[in-house]
A and B are shown apart, each in its own frame.
Chain A
Amino acid sequence: MKRRTLLKSAGGASALGLLAPLRSLGLVEGGYSGPLLLQVQADGGWDVTSYCDPKTNQPGAPVITNWSKSSDPLQAGGITYAPFANNDWFFQKHHARMMVINGIDLQTNSHTTGVLHNWSGRNAEGYPGLTALFAANHAPDIAMPYVNFGGFGATENIIGFTRLQDNPEMLRRVLEPNLDGYHQPNQHSDYEGPVTYRREEDLSLIEQHRQARYERLIASSQGGSREQRNLNAYSDAIKNRATLKAFAPYLPSNEETAPDMAMMHTNLKAQVQIISAAFSAGVSSAADLQLGGFDTHDDHDALHAPLLTYLNESIDLIWQLAEQGGYADRLTVVIGSDFSRTPNYNSGQGKDHWPIGSVIVMQDNPTWGSRATGITDTGHNALPVSFDTLQLDEADGSILYPKHVHQALRRLTGIEGSALDAQFPFLNITTPNFFG
């Protein structure tokens, strides 16, 4: 079998596999119906030269990619990609949804700073991630405005985060706190239905007194104190949880959930399933998903290939479930990493840290789809581009930094011009014309 054929067939295996389809239940009552944002954090520093910024070996230069010894980069629309892992299947299927932004200078080889820079837009602390900004701007009062499964999640107090894990059954158990279980008829009782701890009228009485108590506490708390801040969060938590009760049916069972893969550091597919259920139900607006393991200082190709394969399958799953859930037209997906990896292999066949990275932005049928921008040279160094034409412009162009990507994404996702945008400004920049 030819290498290309092998890769294609490997990638062609449906990402959905045996996973449960999303239940098409529509929004819960009062559910959120606005724009949605999903970020996928590929933690550790992915190798974009084997992904969306393919590089081939050059005479006299160290081997940059092993795959390029026998293959050339491939093309899907306006996007060039590496024939590595299951990229061929992935890019061919999804290129129309994609804008690939290459040549982003993360200005660091340190993970901490790379993560901070890529996901907050600057390499100094103090700015929230795009997801937190998005949720605070679009949907601050819903049940789970901003979900974080781990990884970067700075909120800078503009919104709280909801931490989820990849176990839907555990989540289901707390969506309706008063529910002890669901009784099936048996020899003791032919009752079929929910079993609760307390009667609704008792709960209602407690709730009424709790609210009055909160009002007394907030009135007596000192302005600007931690107690007051936490009181507000506590009150919001109670106020905004109403829709959670109706969320349970949207979740897959544990049996329907993607199995944990031993090689993968996190169960990204399960994260996708859970957040897709939340988007479909209208209980969340933004989320950060996380897949670790990309820090491949040893045995790079062997470790990176399954990770990229899994990442691609997970992104495919995002869109499959978005279509099933009927919210694909509201969804923006951003995929990125701390930085990238060196344009050469080390003595352990690993690759070390390299400050030039890429970001992939996806929407359903965008006018800017199937395009790549940002330019790197054969040695994977960032080159200046014109922010108008997005073409190489050695004379007047500029290197892309995360702040440019973030400002463009703020514009794309409707954050630009808001009070929060002004509160966390990127100083002295021109916004690249990525998205028209």
Chain B
Amino acid sequence: MNRLVLFSLVALIGLAPLAVASETNEFTWDIDGDGKEAPLTDGLLIIRYLFGFTDQALVQGAVDSNATRSTAADIKAYLDVHAAELDVDGNDTNAPLSDGLLIIRYLFGFDGASLIQNAVAPDGARTTADDISAFLDARSGGGSIDPPIEPPTVTAKAYFEDEVAGLIDRCVSCHKAGAVAGGTDLVFVLNTTENLDTNYKALRDFILDTSQPSILGKISGVSHPGGNIYPTNSDGYKVFEEFVRLVEEEDASGEEEPEPVTNAFNTLFKSSTLLSAEATLRRATILLLGRNPTLSEISLLSDGSDAALRQAIRAATEDPAFHDFLVRGANDRLLTDAFVEGIPLEQASLEANAFYPLGTNAHADAQADAGERFFYWPKYNHWRWGLARAPLELIAYIVSNDRDYREVLTADYTMMNYAVSDFLNGGAEFDEVDPEVFSYCQAFPNEPCYDHSQFKPARNNGQTLLTESLETEETEFQTQRITAYDSFIDYPHAGVLNTQAFLNRYPSTETNRNRARARWTFYHFLGIDIEKSAPRTTDPVALADTDNPTLKNPACTVCHQVLDPVAGAFQHYGDIGFYHEAWGGLDSLPFNYKQAIPDATLSPTYLGGELFEVENEDFGPVFETSFESIAQTVYLRIEFLNDAADENGDRNAFFGPLSLEGPSGTTSFTLDNLPEGTERYGCGGPQADGYGQYCQGGVVLPIELEDSGDYILSIELRGDQFGGEPVRVMVSIDSNMNALEEFRYAEGDTWYKDMREPGFLASEAPESIPSLQWLAAEIVKDPWFGESAVKFWWPSLMGQEVVSAPEVVEDAQFGAQLALFDAQQSYITDLATRFATGIDGGQPFNGRDLIVELLTSPWFRLLSLEEANALSNQLGNRRLLTPEELEAKFAGLTGFYWGHHNNEYAEWSITGRHSRLSEEFQILYGGIDSRNVTKRADQMSPLMFNIAEKMALETACEVIVRDLAEAPAERRMLGNTHRLTTPESTLVTQVAAEVPLAEFTTVIETTAQVQAGSVSLIVTFNNHLGDPNGSRNAWFDQLNITSPSGVETTIEFEDAPAGTRITACGHPTDAYYQLSCNGSIIIPFEVTEAGSYALELIAAGEQYGDEPISIELSIVDSASGKPALKRQIQDLHQQLLGETLPADDPEVEATYALLLESYETRKARGVTNVNQFPVETCPNHQWRISDLDGSDPTYMVGTWINVLTYLMTDFRFLHE
């Protein structure tokens, strides 16, 4: 079965489904019992049933919402009972691709030959269209349940003139003779008043030709290389829809009313539940910025309206982290970060690179300074990274600065960091940065210290051309210094299109001729995947055609007519993207092409000829070719094609005696005396035994033919053999001496003569402006550009590519995919239109507005669909975070990157940090390297979960310990609790103090309301420091307690009461107790009267290092801390998982249960430090900042570590 045929059939769904009565006890084609006989429900059910599908595979997406038989069991039972009715061709076999196909075609409205073609078993009882139709009609319900059709009030022709003619300009531009779609079955003429009738007939005939696909499908982008012209919700579509209806009504065979077409987007979301404004804002900020929304952003939500949500998200995008998202999202499409992941950016080489003399000479200078050829020069890396990142930075710059998004293609500048600006003479100014922060600067004190990740707009004024002005000298390190060069060119910037990275990411070759660049330009900036959307030929003859098929073969030209002009617009850029890279600087055409002799067969007056491979070194073998001609002057062309030479030898060709045998005899001659009128080209000339040709070229000599008839030309050839191939000589005969001149390269050409002219769609690029700049301007004028912008950002926001049009009707998900495709296209077209004019009154083409709009759309906010279908599992929230997104989320919550020391600058990384998720485990966690791996994982695998768990296990301890070491107001996560608040105790008060002296003059006082009962009085030492030169220790002398009634109690620490616990190393002295490492002294105290207690702590310490001794005095009572702990848990669920939960929510209770069990387990274990080598370790990623205090006197540090590990490995932490 030809899938294209079926696809086309399906495209008719919006055109001519049947509406019939269903209330009958007899078998009809209304399989699902919805009162209608429709191809994509009833027809599809039958064909799937005949394929043997059962269960969900049978009914998925194929049962109407009004069906009375909707389950697979009901459908199967019905068809089982009536199986005999399905043998349409009467061959006693029910086959999907004969009987099933006949039924589905019938339901699509086909008749005659188009109904039965290739679908009828030859051995069947019914083989003719009439017999088949009669059988099918007999089982059709017939009649209509819809209201009678009103007679048309206008004629189709009048409607065409009034309404349709004004809409077909976009069709005519391609569907006219000589244009892209001039070879299709729908060809218009110029859309003028005089041609109304011609164009009306063309369109009408196309509609009425049942072998053609649906015009409505075509204009809405289904199987249409031209893409989506009029989406199903557009006014234009409705006009076409009405026109189709009128045409069919007027036609004798058009009796059915088209099924109403509804807005697919609205239909899909009609019963959906969306995220609240606050939840949407959080999801947006997590994905974009890696953090929760700020209070000020939340406050903007006010009434929770869509407008308020837009405002809040827009405000959030002012965060500098938005830039990182933009770079990341843009790279997911352009993949230019391949050049920071290992692919060499060839243009960036500074080894004798004469195109960039400033960089090349700077490199030579640096080599001289270093005294070696290969050395580490940070600026070289910065130059490479700067070039590599330029396209992404350009897009980020445009969006984050609210510049016109069209500048993505039309910017007359590029983005440069300091190194690129230096070497490309950009003139951008950068401020030097602190060498303490950019630690590599310390190792290169003679280099200016700049932040290489800072980019500024600038122009490339630093490229020169390879001309006679170029002079070089050898350096002592076997490279070249450029001592003289041509003037710098005025580089014709065209946004990202001619950035070095874009051009080098899609390099060209002599035969590719910029087609890859054109293909990706279409894909990224017009939203069209030519390889997918073009009607690919499957004709083996066409595919194997070697006779310039892209220009000549219709099967190929249908695509290349569109592709090749855009490739031509890149004409000024060479294989790796240098502007006019050819020697002389006039063009970028390859030497081989310039030297090539045009293919003789291209000539329209070509008479005959042959390519000979000459392996002999002496004349002897005779080569023959034949041709037919009338009596006339013909031109014999003898050409040597494959000159080659080096120091070891030379390949040459020699043309010997010739003879021409014709109707009236044989004529012999030699070339040692060339006849008058002979043209020579290339280096060569007559010699004693004929003609010697020493480089590519040959002779063209006139021959007068006196008779019409067949001729045989014989020639002796020999060659100086050299290299791996024989001498190749082309002998051809043409009736026009100059016929090939138009195909030959001439100085000043910038594009191939045997390719289509540079252009875009129906327009040719003018010579007055650089063709790539012209192309960029043309593209941004096209409506597809706006759509492409939507598609460009869709994956990074939605976590899925835009769905493509389904191709094979038999696929189980065909219906669902078509519906989703329709809905997305409908939305995208609408948004693109608003983007072009300004979203919600904003500026036209504002990229930030576009992203905000996508984030407020149902596509981003979808929580659930009431009617799930086969593809709804691609929609909605809780998508898997990419490694970069998870890394950003982790850093946003914790303040550091997994594996990266905040105080260490990683020079070898473009981001300046070496983090595990986005570097070490980038691929294993389903990310991309932009090189070999370009598709992201969208589902968790066992290995990925291990990585997520390892991140939690390795970092949770440090996160908790560091957080608890901060004052509550400064904490990131645990601001609502304290390590002394436990399931069985609550912190009553705590006072922190610094003790700057070794004398007991420091007195810390506090008062607190304390309930009667057992309490703990706790003193804690927080900042021990010790090394071979000294030690910082805390000395606790005395604690005085005064009860509400004035009773005073004094506790001497060196003689603490029974039951005192000490959770750190230390020892008593005669006068005080010394804590020699971080930890606490916990003293039990019985409170007999409730009320206000006054405490007075006298402490001193052994001072060492820069900081005074840091201590705390706390009172903890015996009331359960559960309420406070649950408040903290609520907060963690909100921050980490995006769950807003009441205190009594089962999830809060469940997390508290984990906390309680952890606490009790750890308490029972009696371990008061979270470092318990080798079974518990607390890695310190920021050890250069400070040590981690692992003391855990109340077991709550370890408990919170368990809770955080649980939350950081939760589904909703890893999916947003």
Residue of B nearest to A105 (CB): B540
A352 shortest CB reach to chain B, Å: 5
Known: A209-B1154, A226-B875. Contact between A354 and B940, CB under 8 A? no
* Contact string against A for B residues 864-875, beta-carbon threshold 8 Å, 1 for contact and 0 otherwise: 110011101111
Asked if A9 CB lies within 8 Å of chain B CBs, one says no
User: Would A217 and B1211 count as touching, CB distance under 8 A?
Assistant: yes
Out of B540, B873, B924, which one reaches A174, CB within 8 Å?
Answer: B924
User: Would A174 and B947 count as touching, CB distance under 8 A?
Assistant: yes
Residue of A nearest to B1215 (CB): A230
User: Would A347 and B1175 count as touching, CB distance under 8 A?
Assistant: no
Out of A112, A194, A198, which one reaches B1205, CB within 8 Å?
Answer: A198
CA distance A241 to B1172 in the complex (A): 27
User: Would B3 and A124 count as touching, CB distance under 8 A?
Assistant: yes
Asked if B375 CB lies within 8 Å of chain A CBs, one says no
CA distance A298 to B544 in the complex (A): 19
Residue of A nearest to B1154 (CB): A209
Asked if A305 CB lies within 8 Å of chain B CBs, one says no
Residue of B nearest to A107 (CB): B538
A282 shortest CB reach to chain B, Å: 14
Residue of B nearest to A345 (CB): B725
The stretch from A312-320, A327-335, A423-431 touching chain B is: A423-431
B371 shortest CB reach to chain A, Å: 26
User: Would A180 and B1147 count as touching, CB distance under 8 A?
Assistant: no
User: Would B536 and A108 count as touching, CB distance under 8 A?
Assistant: yes
B880 shortest CB reach to chain A, Å: 6
Within A199-256, the residues touching B (CB, 8 Å) are 199, 201-202, 205-206, 209-210, 212-214, 216-217, 222-231, 233-234, 236-238, 240-241, 244
User: Would B1158 and A225 count as touching, CB distance under 8 A?
Assistant: no
CA distance A238 to B1214 in the complex (A): 13
Residue among A198, A229, A422 having the largest count of chain B Cβ atoms under 10 Å: A198
* Contact string against A for B residues 797-830, beta-carbon threshold 8 Å, 1 for contact and 0 otherwise: 0000000101110111100000000000000000
User: Would A161 and B941 count as touching, CB distance under 8 A?
Assistant: yes
* Contact string against A for B residues 35-59, beta-carbon threshold 8 Å, 1 for contact and 0 otherwise: 0000000000000000111000100
B1215 shortest CB reach to chain A, Å: 5
User: Would A202 and B1161 count as touching, CB distance under 8 A?
Assistant: yes
Question: Within 8 Å CB of B997, what residues of A?
Answer: none
CA distance A415 to B590 in the complex (A): 51
Question: Within 8 Å CB of A180, what residues of B?
Answer: 954, 1177, 1179
Question: Within 8 Å CB of A425, what residues of B?
Answer: 51, 810
The stretch from B75-83, B247-255, B361-369, B504-512 touching chain A is: B504-512
The stretch from A73-81, A86-94, A162-170, A388-396 touching chain B is: A162-170
Asked if A109 CB lies within 8 Å of chain B CBs, one says yes
Question: Within 8 Å CB of A174, what residues of B?
Answer: 921, 924, 943, 946-947, 950
CA distance A231 to B1214 in the complex (A): 11
Asked if B879 CB lies within 8 Å of chain A CBs, one says yes
Asked if A137 CB lies within 8 Å of chain B CBs, one says no
Known: A143-B942, A209-B1153. Contact between A355 and B544, CB under 8 A? yes
CA distance A385 to B148 in the complex (A): 57
CA distance A108 to B1147 in the complex (A): 55
Asked if A62 CB lies within 8 Å of chain B CBs, one says yes
* Contact string against B for A residues 283-304, beta-carbon threshold 8 Å, 1 for contact and 0 otherwise: 0000000101000011000000
Asked if A195 CB lies within 8 Å of chain B CBs, one says yes
Within A144-167, the residues touching B (CB, 8 Å) are 144, 149-151, 153, 157, 160-165
Question: Within 8 Å CB of A350, what residues of B?
Answer: 509-511
Asked if A4 CB lies within 8 Å of chain B CBs, one says no
Asked if B1150 CB lies within 8 Å of chain A CBs, one says yes
Residue among A161, A225, A423 having the largest count of chain B Cβ atoms under 10 Å: A225
User: Would A348 and B590 count as touching, CB distance under 8 A?
Assistant: yes
Asked if B1157 CB lies within 8 Å of chain A CBs, one says yes
Out of B529, B546, B613, B1161, which one reaches A201, CB within 8 Å?
Answer: B1161
Question: Within 8 Å CB of A213, what residues of B?
Answer: 1147, 1150, 1206, 1210-1211
B857 shortest CB reach to chain A, Å: 16
User: Would B1147 and A216 count as touching, CB distance under 8 A?
Assistant: yes
Asked if A398 CB lies within 8 Å of chain B CBs, one says no
Question: Within 8 Å CB of B932, what residues of A?
Answer: 149-151, 265-266, 290, 292
Question: Within 8 Å CB of A292, what residues of B?
Answer: 932
Asked if A33 CB lies within 8 Å of chain B CBs, one says no
CA distance A399 to B810 in the complex (A): 23
Question: Within 8 Å CB of B813, what residues of A?
Answer: 126
B551 shortest CB reach to chain A, Å: 15
User: Would A126 and B877 count as touching, CB distance under 8 A?
Assistant: no
User: Would B596 and A347 count as touching, CB distance under 8 A?
Assistant: yes
Out of B804, B877, B924, B935, which one reaches A170, CB within 8 Å?
Answer: B924
* Contact string against A for B residues 1131-1153, beta-carbon threshold 8 Å, 1 for contact and 0 otherwise: 00000000000000011001101
Residue of A nearest to B927 (CB): A163
Question: Within 8 Å CB of A178, what residues of B?
Answer: 949-950, 953
Number of contacting residues on A, CB 8 A?
105
Asked if A110 CB lies within 8 Å of chain B CBs, one says yes
Asked if B1174 CB lies within 8 Å of chain A CBs, one says yes
Question: Within 8 Å CB of B1201, what residues of A?
Answer: 198
B1094 shortest CB reach to chain A, Å: 41
Asked if B543 CB lies within 8 Å of chain A CBs, one says yes
Out of B590, B942, B1206, which one reaches A244, CB within 8 Å?
Answer: B942
Known: A197-B1176, A354-B544, A427-B810. Contact between A241 and B943, CB under 8 A? yes
A396 shortest CB reach to chain B, Å: 16
User: Would B876 and A227 count as touching, CB distance under 8 A?
Assistant: yes
Residue among A175, A226, A292 having the largest count of chain B Cβ atoms under 10 Å: A226
Asked if B125 CB lies within 8 Å of chain A CBs, one says no
User: Would A237 and B940 count as touching, CB distance under 8 A?
Assistant: yes
Known: A174-B947, A198-B1176, A238-B945. Contact between A150 and B879, CB under 8 A? no
Question: Within 8 Å CB of B1174, what residues of A?
Answer: 183, 191, 193-196
Question: Within 8 Å CB of B940, what residues of A?
Answer: 160, 230, 233-234, 237
Out of A171, A226, A231, A241, which one reaches B942, CB within 8 Å?
Answer: A241
A127 shortest CB reach to chain B, Å: 9
Question: Within 8 Å CB of A224, what residues of B?
Answer: 865, 868-870, 872-873
Residue of B nearest to A347 (CB): B592
* Contact string against A for B residues 1163-1197, beta-carbon threshold 8 Å, 1 for contact and 0 otherwise: 00000000011111101000000000000000000
CA distance A196 to B946 in the complex (A): 14
* Contact string against A for B residues 334-372, beta-carbon threshold 8 Å, 1 for contact and 0 otherwise: 000000000000000000000000000000000000000
Asked if A381 CB lies within 8 Å of chain B CBs, one says yes
Question: Within 8 Å CB of A265, what residues of B?
Answer: 931-932
Known: A227-B877, A427-B1. Contact between A210 and B725, CB under 8 A? no
A28 shortest CB reach to chain B, Å: 13
| A positions within 8 Å CB-CB of B | 59-60, 62-63, 66, 69, 105, 107-113, 122-126, 143-144, 149-151, 153, 157, 160-165, 170-171, 173-178, 180, 183, 189, 191, 193-199, 201-202, 205-206, 209-210, 212-214, 216-217, 222-231, 233-234, 236-238, 240-241, 244, 265-266, 290, 292, 297-298, 342, 344, 346-348, 350, 352, 354-356, 379, 381-382, 399, 422-423, 425, 427-428
What 9 additional pairs, Cβ within 8 angstroms, besides A69-B724, A174-B947?
A108-B536, A125-B807, A177-B953, A197-B1177, A222-B868, A231-B1211, A354-B544, A399-B540, A425-B51
| B positions within 8 Å CB-CB of A | 1, 3, 51-53, 57, 96-97, 509-512, 529, 531-532, 536, 538, 540, 543-544, 546, 590, 592-593, 596, 610-611, 613, 724-726, 804, 806-808, 810-813, 864-865, 868-870, 872-880, 920-921, 923-924, 926, 931-933, 935, 937, 939-947, 949-950, 953-954, 957, 1146-1147, 1150-1151, 1153-1154, 1157-1158, 1161, 1172-1177, 1179, 1198, 1201-1202, 1205-1206, 1209-1212, 1214-1215
A-B residue pairs, 6 tightest by C-beta: A224-B868, A241-B942, A177-B950, A124-B807, A233-B939, A227-B878
Chosen A-B contacts, 10 in total, with CB atoms closer than 8 Å, are: A126-B808, A143-B943, A149-B933, A170-B920, A173-B920, A180-B1177, A227-B1215, A244-B942, A265-B932, A346-B510
